[in-house]
Amino acid sequence: MTIEIKAPTFPESVADGTVATWHKQPGEAVSRDELLVDIETDKVVLEIVAPADGAISEIIKAEGDTVLSDELIGHFEEGAGAAPAPEAAPAAAAEPAAASAEIKLSPAARKMVDENNLTGVAIVATGKGGLVTKEDVVKHLSHAAPAAPAAAAPAAPAPIMEMDTGDKIEKRVPMTRLRKRIAERLLEATSTTAMLTTFNEVNMEPVMTLRKQYKDLFEKTHNGVRLGFMGFFVKAACEALKRYPAVNASIDGDDIVYHGYQDIGVAVSSDKGLVVPVLRDVENMGLATVEDTIRSYGSRARDGKLGLEEMQGGTFTITNGGVFGSLLSTPILNPPQTAILGMHKIQERPMAVNGEVKILPMMYLALSYDHRLIDGKEAVQFLVCIKELLEDPARILLEI
């Protein structure tokens, strides 16, 4: 039974996608729910799995091709097994690709293997599940000894790695759709908003003391959920957004849209770029739920498992450069949101407290905001509110 392999149904905000990687080739046996192909959009990488046990019978859209929502990209034969190698064919007449069937090759890599007569050559694979990618072949060629006959193989088209006379290696690869979209949104934020940043600092000792006192009991009570710092910042931001609704608003043309809920995005770093999954209705979430959801988002972002719906919307964003050691930065807005909070590294510093010098764990906070909607006074007061809530965490619970 032949089954159509189609691209996923994209939401309205996603026009199309790109075939990133075929993990299985025609004739290769696969099991039900085994990964067939990755479709990359400008927000997330979507996976298409096998609908049943069988094999791909035809690939219509190759790697790098653009696909629309629900577009046909291949055919799948239910119940089919791996195509057996032809036994009667003489060894000299074997196709290069057939001789390379022992290793998994992407379509682009297979083409380069054929063009460079690399049949049967061991190439180090870096793709998922031992897949040899085009970049793996290029790397192998760049490190291999020069071939004896100069005209033995045609030149590979558009190499992505070159070496000049000074033995300096350059690597040229196309930007992913996600990276392109990140670039577009950053340029959009800087060119279409009146962005300013205000700074403050917060004494993290109260939160650290509270966390140290209750982290074991918290983890035991909430089924292994660990008590981190991000949950305190999310809940403090939620409370501050209630008090300063303009920071939670957005601009739509000539209108101001005030949101009666707090959907807070938390920036998460992945190998493919920065993504911002959204915590929905934070005002109704407990600290344990916040922490558990953030950890789930982080893990799934690194594995490429986040769904498009989990990154839609959001009324405010928090980004934490401190996990990478950043001491101070100016975060860029995430349109159409009008503010973003930047967390940074906790650094012990000498501070004046009641006429005495004390060593305290301090963190710089940065709030970037759209001055078209938020006045400087309101932005400063919002950031001071977060500072006060964190320096006296009981106020978060008491909402005072």
Q: What is the pLDDT along the chain (400 residues), one digit of tens a residue?
A: 888 999 888 765 577 888 888 988 888 888 888 889 988 876 677 888 888 899 999 899 988 888 888 889 999 988 866 444 444 344 333 333 333 445 677 666 776 777 777 766 677 777 766 777 777 777 777 766 444 333 333 333 444 444 444 567 777 888 877 778 778 888 888 888 999 999 999 999 999 999 999 999 999 999 999 999 999 999 999 999 999 999 999 999 889 999 999 999 999 887 777 788 999 999 999 999 999 999 999 888 887 778 778 888 899 999 999 989 999 999 999 888 999 999 999 999 999 999 999 999 999 999 999 999 999 999 999 999 999 999 999 888 777 7
**367 closest CA partner among 196, 186, 232:** 196
Radius of gyration of the chain (CA): 27
What is the pLDDT at residue 81? 61
What is the pLDDT at residue 108? 67
| CB atoms closer than 10 angstroms to residue 330 | 14
What is the pLDDT at residue 166? 54
Q: What are the DSSP E strand ranges found in 60-158?
A: 66-67, 72-78, 104-105, 131-132
The pair of structure tokens assigned to 81 is 């097994």
What is the pLDDT at residue 11? 66
The pair of structure tokens assigned to 283 is 């005002």
The residues carrying an active-site annotation are 371, 375
Cβ neighbourhood burial of 286 (10 Å; 0-12, 13-18, 19+): exposed
The pair of structure tokens assigned to 60 is 């219509």
Cα–Cα distance between 133 and 131 in angstroms, integer? 6
| CB atoms closer than 10 angstroms to residue 174 | 10
The pair of structure tokens assigned to 225 is 């959920």
Sign of CA dihedral 293, 299, 300, 302: positive
| pLDDT tens-place string over residues 294-320 | 999 988 888 777 877 888 889 999 999
CA dihedral 183, 184, 185, 186 (to 10 degrees): 50
What is the pLDDT at residue 65? 87
What is the pLDDT at residue 342? 96
The pair of structure tokens assigned to 258 is 């005030």
**389 closest CA partner among 234, 248, 280:** 234
Sign of CA dihedral 189, 191, 193, 194: positive
